[in-house]
Amino acid sequence: MKCRTSDCNELAKYEGYCRFCIGRRWIACEENGCDQLTLPELGGKCFYHRAQRLLSIQDVAQMIGMCEKTVQRMAKDGKIPCTLTDGGHRRFKEEDIKKFLEDRHAQA
């Protein structure tokens, strides 16, 4: 695969860029206190901050004491925030689930 940089004909090996162009693309991670580097098209967050604390439907169901289908339905309806992976699987941030539980307990 060719490098994403329009005027470069090198072979792309690093996130779609060649070994020469990738160095020009690095930016600092947007998380406070993080000294890792990332690429702008990866959301401005390093690998650690993009991947940390993502939970599956099974994990969430166990955490909140509901069946997986209920969690899936609530996520589909927007009651529980989630993101979709490239494969179409739902993933939940641990912070979002904790906030959901706090809001639920506050309503009770």
pLDDT digits (tens, 9 = 90+) for 22-80: 667 777 887 777 887 777 767 777 766 666 668 899 999 998 899 999 999 999 999 99
Give the CA angle between residues 14, 17, 21 to the nearest 5°. 115
Report the alpha-carbon distance of residue 64 to residue 95 in Å, rounded.
13
What pLDDT score does 51 carry?
63
Please give the span between the terminal C-alpha atoms of the chain, in angstroms, as a whole number.
56
Which residue ranges form the domains of the chain, and what is each CATH number? 53-107 (1.10.1660.10)
Report the alpha-carbon distance of residue 69 to residue 52 in Å, rounded.
24
Query: Which position has the token pair 């009651």?
Result: 79
What pLDDT score does 46 carry?
75
Residue 91 contacts residue 82 (beta carbons within 8 Å): yes
Indicate the pLDDT class of residue 108, thresholds 50, 70 and 90. low
